[in-house]
């Protein structure tokens, strides 16, 4: 399912998504698979960026992504 969504979001010619798009797509796909909406305090989201730097998103950052997802629906 995630692979289909990535192709749909990025277009068939390019598989490049920005960090925000990637996080939102991952959360949205997870919500769809579990048939549940999340609150920021219910999930943890981390990003592995350049040079393998691991960063856990704060609750407010996760909440901002959840709001953006709900507004897009």
Q: What is the rounded CA–CA span in Å between residue 41 and residue 19?
A: 21
The answer to whether the CB of 62 falls within 8 A of the CB of 43 is yes
Domain count, the chain: 1
12-58 per-position pLDDT tens digit: 555 677 889 889 989 998 999 999 999 999 999 999 887 888 999 99
Burial label, 14 (beta-carbon count in 10 A; 0-12, 13-18, 19+): exposed
Quickly state the pLDDT bin for 59 (edges 50, 70, 90). Answer: very high
pTM of the model: 0.78
Using CA atoms, how far residue 21 sits from 6, 25, 38, 69, in Å, is 10, 6, 17, 10
The domain of 47 spans 2-72
């Amino acid at each position: 399912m995630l692979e289909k969504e990535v192709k749909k979001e990025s277009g068939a010619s390019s598989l490049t998504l920005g960090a925000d798009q990637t996080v939102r797509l991952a959360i949205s796909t997870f919500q769809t698979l579990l048939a549940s909406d999340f609150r920021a305090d219910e999930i943890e989201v981390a990003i592995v960026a350049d040079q393998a730097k691991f960063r856990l998103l704060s609750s407010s950052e996760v909440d901002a992504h959840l709001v953006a997802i709900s507004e897009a629906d």
